[in-house]
Amino acid sequence: MKPLSNNDIEAELSYAYIHAVASKAGVGCKIGSRHDDNAGIDAELTGWGPFSGYREEIDVKVQLKATKSEPILHGGKYWSYSLKGISRYDDLRSQTVSTPRILVVLFLPAEMDDWLTLDDTSLVLRKCAYWVSLRGARPSANATSQTVYLPQSQRFDPKGLLELMEELSHNRIPSYQEVSV
């Protein structure tokens, strides 16, 4: 058996990250099946209230990505990310799905040795992830990839995840905000 490639390791760390955040927030995290992956879904998060809206159980489907490429901050508000695969982009921007979908991008340090460190008192996964809803985004004019912009204010952390679920409990599904750069 061959060892994991660096890309595989990045992907596995994104799964570890989403599990850790969901666990800390008290949210269930289920990794998608092969069939889910074919539909662009890597994980499904389920939150149980109480929320202040009328929904008490919230599901969100997640496409996970990880990159060691240094993100560029645009306008002091948005991280850019080149999403490979226009079919994935189209899945995420669809307005005809019943369960909201988000893209979560884990930005890792450039050096692999810095990705994960541990000692007797801590386990540290360096840098963090941000999320964005691409719902309602414009169709791509590109054939292979699309640059998307993740709001710096939407860090994927326990607080941010619970705030998203709170919004969804009111049936307020976030839409993509086009960014002009």
- pLDDT number for residue 135: 96
For the chain, the three-class secondary structure string (H helix, E strand, C coil) is CCCCCHHHHHHHHHHHHHHHHHHHHCCEEEECCHHHHHCCCCEEEEEECCCCCCCCEEEEEEEEEEECCCCCEECCCEEEEEEECHHHHHHHHCCCCCCCEEEEEEECCCCHHHCEEECCCCEEECCCEEEECCCCCCCCCCCCEEEEEEECCCECCHHHHHHHHHHHHCCCCCCCCCCCC
**pLDDT value, residue 179:** 84
> Higher pLDDT residue, 181 or 28?
28
Comparing 39 with 84, the larger pLDDT belongs to 84
In this prediction the pTM is: 0.94
The phi and psi torsions of 53 (rounded to 5 degrees) equal -85, -170
Query: Is the link from the previous residue into 50 a cis peptide, with omega within 30 of 0?
Result: yes
Burial (CB < 10 A; 0-12, 13-18, 19+), residue 161, is: buried
Q: Is the pLDDT of residue 47 over 70?
A: yes
Query: What is the arithmetic mean of pLDDT over 91-95?
Result: 93
The tens digit of pLDDT for each residue in 105-149 reads: 999 999 999 999 999 999 999 999 999 999 999 999 999 999 999
Going along the chain from its start, the domains and CATH numbers come out as: 6-169 (3.40.1350.10)
Of 156, 150, 152, 100, nearest in space to 128 by CA: 156
